[in-house]
Structure 1
């Protein structure tokens, strides 16, 4: 159901990630990948949170067959955990190199997919499995 502005009732998707090594995660996502900081807060007992801008957000729901197919295309075998974060970037190859230098572990090199994107898979700080993708026909 849409409201008067033609938008759904949900205004924002915010993925909350527990980062045991908070400083390393902030350095990676904010500084290495260049996600601008929108807000940050400190609380009692050393509580810290930073909210980073990830551009447009979507929620992609996939059944088991789809997850297995994407893993096969991107990696060659099933590796995806329950949640995987996908970030659209301008240059998958360059961003993958930057991400690895910044602390991510390469799972699969960039590859062209049947749906015409160039995707790379990484294990990133804060235990996030990450797909970097570049739309080739955009």
Structure 2
């Protein structure tokens, strides 16, 4: 998706992950002329919501911990820790069934060091389940 010359690419629309393992959401962006990325913010919300909101935040690249859902604290990180390399991919560790849902990215940018824009990407779905191991019955 491109807006004002700023493009975000999510190479997947749906990811299936096994519980207990990790999931990678591949993502990249092209800033376009004059844009500087200040941070990326990832959200997780119910699939039925048209857009995730501030209370749905699971990760911020700028180290701000405000409003991060408690179940995701410490489990989500950028695949490439330097945002200036145009990589917004994240890895979610120790996937649980409750991690199923819609994930959305917001890229916060500055233009000419003064104007601020937020670019929101369409949502991507993660579905998770058990690993298919023992059923627990004796």
| TM-score normalised to structure 2 length | 0.26
Larger helix proportion, structure 1 or 2? 1
| TM-score normalised to structure 1 length | 0.26
Larger strand proportion, structure 1 or 2? 2
